[in-house]
Homo-oligomer: A and B are copies of this chain.
Amino acid sequence: MAETPGGESLLFLTDEQLRKGIEAMFFAYRGFTSDPDRILEGKDYGRAHHRAIHFIHRSPGTTVSNLLSILGVTKQSLNRVLRTLIEDGLVRSEKGKADARERHLHLTDKGQMLERELSDAQRARMRAAYRAAGPVAVAGFRQVLEAMMDPEMRRQYSRLKEGG
């Protein structure tokens, strides 16, 4: 199945091999989102709320426009989500000190609790998959995913990766 490390034969990239990769992405992404989706349903929130919460947790104090460029949605779409999170007391929004046009976003304690619940579930699945596949596989997994991103997204990812 594996090719000669230096060789990269043509066979390796048959349409059939590529199709398997495509279907693997499809089915795996379903698993990837299913646990948080299950937790959210019945709480009045959806996947869009999860994404906002994730990245606010990841970069506390981030601005709305920064979040927009990470999530890749319109401000109207994000605003709808953000408004409910702020109204429900999961997210705090405060005017910037240096630039008062900006809004800096933080999770409240209540927001932290939900974030924890969601990410615990998602990490548990990730951890199980990593354990099952082993360290070498994980390194390859990350390499291929990174290569699959658009350059713009890869920049976002790398910036986050190094902790900003």
Contacts and interface: CB of A to CB of B under 8 A. Distances in A.
Interface in A133-154: 133-150, 153-154
For this chain, the copies found in one complex come to 2
B12 A142 contact: no
Q: A interface, how many residues as a size bin?
A: 35 or more
B25 A135 contact: no
Given A2-B139, A12-B130, A138-B140, 12 more contacts: A12-B138, A19-B123, A20-B161, A22-B32, A23-B160, A27-B154, A30-B153, A31-B153, A129-B144, A129-B148, A134-B143, A140-B143
18 contacts: A1-B139, A12-B130, A13-B131, A17-B130, A21-B141, A22-B32, A24-B141, A24-B157, A27-B145, A30-B153, A32-B148, A125-B148, A128-B147, A132-B143, A133-B140, A136-B136, A137-B139, A138-B140
